[in-house]
A = this chain, B = another copy of it.
Amino acid sequence: MTRMHYTRDNMAGLLRSHDINPTHQRIEIAHALFSRQEHLSADQVMAIVNTRHSETSKATVYNTLKLFLEKGLVREVIVDPSKVFFDPNTSPHHHLYEVDSGKLSDIDAEHVQISGLPPLPAGMVTEGIDLIIRVRKA
């Protein structure tokens, strides 16, 4: 994958390619996530988007993040009981969570192998596998 700049113009294209109508607010929110390539909570997204010029409401931030999720533009990471993180990296990967600091980082799934899992219950399909390594200072 070629490196690209996460300009707002490119965001519009990205949204369109995921079948999302690229409105002003959606572009700002996508830009917040993708230009940072970081895991952000809804709160953080709202803070970032609202330091820039245009104001975006809480409802829109939540609506938009949910929309991005449905359209496969971002992934949800559930590591902290108090808030959900949104991850602009949708390629297969796992997570390393530093419990003390709350820092969350990616582990590329390419070399990780999980074997010996029992068969799924009948009529079920895997929606996703979340592997979280929780670490703390020694």
Contacts and interface: CB of A to CB of B under 8 A. Distances in A.
A131 B133 CA distance: 9
Interface string A58-101: 00000000000000000010111101100000000000101100
A136 B116 contact: no
Residue of A108, A135, A138 most packed against chain B (CB within 10 A) = A135
B126 A133 contact: yes
Chain multiplicity (copies): 2
Interface of A: 76, 78-81, 83-84, 96, 98-99, 107-108, 111-118, 120-121, 123-138
Contact of A133 (B78, B117, B135): B117
A72 to B, nearest CB: 15
Nearest to A124: B135
A134 B130 contact: yes
26 contacts: A81-B83, A98-B124, A108-B118, A111-B116, A111-B118, A112-B115, A112-B116, A112-B117, A113-B114, A120-B133, A121-B135, A123-B138, A124-B135, A124-B136, A124-B138, A125-B135, A125-B137, A126-B135, A129-B131, A129-B133, A129-B134, A130-B130, A130-B131, A130-B132, A131-B131, A132-B132
